[in-house]
Chains A and B, each alone.
Chain A
């Protein structure tokens, strides 16, 4: 991946993370949940989620100006890991909630189980796979530039 491609990805991820982060912060002030198509804003700890996404977005954008390629990739991975934490917790909560049944039942029904996996989802769930792809691309780049590995090959 050349520098221009990485910068373009960082711009996309930066804006794609920063804008939902800002929206989460704004919506948290109203205390209401909002749904736009398949995106959902609201619920517990919305303000914190918003702050984390906003910071991750800023970190992606700041990384664009970083002249040192390793520093640039490191900042991108740190921003991605912040998205993994927020998105990972959302997915974990969804999975665990889908297993337990309603009051009086130990295990959920098949309909109830599947019902938990239908949209809308919070923005971090959509950002999660994109940030993983970015991190995978960065780590493969890191491996390519690893002098020890180059010596082995």
Chain B
């Protein structure tokens, strides 16, 4: 049936008369709260409180489960048991699967069944559960779009819009879902920019956790430098990359109380995804690093890159091996760095370089996967590598220069 324009308008009027109810909207505390959380003057302090609560919960819960239960379980029971019962001590198989037979904790053993299991289940899993639980509550309460509206002005300066805050926050848990969630951004330019900025400047939850527990005194400086890099290179990329950065148009829903049923269901789906996708990756990654060590590949690369790292970045040559290993496990690379003797400023520089020099292998794979939808794999991968090399040399070198000017490097 084809309707003339006037008939169509009449039909619309009739449907509206029969379906739309008119009344006076009453101002309630809930509607006032919904409005206050979007207005910058009241919304920004509240957003700071929400983000503080986010991190407070993350640290309290993940710290409780990891330090309180998984560390004693793995260090006092699992590690000594597997070191004793696993045969072929001294063989390459023992080295790959169990790691160092003299290790006294699961962090330093570096085997697939020791460090691999410990990192995946003991460290990352509690962090992932805590992280997704808070994210789900924020989504279901209707607060997430409000946060997006609040940060829209700031992110617009670098060609992104408010919803880019979702991949940013997700990446603070794990860069992999962060990169995956860039598909919600509207243009290819925005998706490409966000993927690069996330994978370079936003450290994942595991890395953040290791940084907070091993080098808490430098945590603030490192994060400040990384965030400054995020906005500085975002501003530059926005000017260099052709494409559109449209305005945000979003529906801000009313504030609601999340239901336990919905939150638990969403949490289960996300945690299940972590079990099936990320844990095998971590285990294979640990094994691969061990094989590279055994084959002398990492030592060879370390020798080649030594002059660059010591000369350009001003960090000791011993940091080269952890930096290369960081391609697979950045959290462990940070842990390894903290055991190397160097000055505080060199430690800050090394951790910054670990964060920005290359995304971990899981994130890198996700960039390739998502790149197909954001302008083609070759374009995204080529652009990513070019940006990464530029960023690491400029931002890492600048930090060394700051250290020289301050007389601490």
Chain A interface (Cβ < 8 Å from any Cβ of B): 44-45, 48-49, 51-52, 55-56, 59, 68, 70-71, 73-75, 77-78, 81-82, 85-86, 88-89, 92-93, 96-97, 99-101, 104-106, 138-139, 142, 147
Contact = CB atoms under 8 A, between A and B. Distances in A.
B68 A100 contact: yes
A89 B52 contact: yes
B32 A86 contact: no
B61 interface: yes
Given A45-B56, A96-B68, A100-B64, A82 B45 contact: yes
A99 B76 contact: no
Contacts of A99: 64, 68
Nearest to A139: B29
Contact of A59 (B37, B45, B50, B53): B45
A49 B52 contact: yes
A74 B37 CA distance: 11
Contacts of A92: 56-57, 60-61
B223 interface: no
Given A104-B72, A142-B29, A75 B64 contact: no
Given A44-B59, A86-B52, A97-B64, 20 more contacts: A44-B216, A48-B52, A51-B45, A56-B45, A56-B49, A59-B45, A70-B27, A73-B29, A78-B42, A82-B49, A85-B50, A86-B53, A88-B53, A89-B56, A92-B56, A92-B61, A96-B68, A104-B72, A139-B29, A142-B29
Nearest to A51: B48
Interface string B35-77: 1110000100110111011011101110110011100100010
Contacts of B61: 92, 96
A106 B72 contact: yes
A97 B37 CA distance: 32
3 residue pairs, one from A and one from B, having the closest CB atoms: A74-B32, A100-B68, A89-B56
B28 interface: yes
Given A45-B56, A147-B26, A52 B32 contact: no
Main secondary structure of the interface of A (DSSP, over half): helix
Query: Which of B60, B67, B72 has its CB near the most chain A CB atoms (within 10 A)?
Result: B60
A93 to B, nearest CB: 4
B52 A74 contact: no
A89 B59 CA distance: 10
Contacts of B154: none
Nearest to B44: A55
Contact of A45 (B50, B52, B67): B52
A44 B72 CA distance: 25
B225 to A, nearest CB: 18
Contacts of B27: 68, 70-71
B385 interface: no
A24 B291 CA distance: 51
Contacts of A70: 27-29, 32
A105 B71 CA distance: 11
B46 A48 contact: no
Contacts of B29: 70, 73-74, 77, 138-139, 142
Contacts of B63: 96
Nearest to A92: B60
Contacts of A78: 33, 36-37, 42, 46
Contact of B53 (A89, A101, A147): A89
B68 A93 contact: no
Nearest to B35: A74
Contacts of A106: 68-69, 72
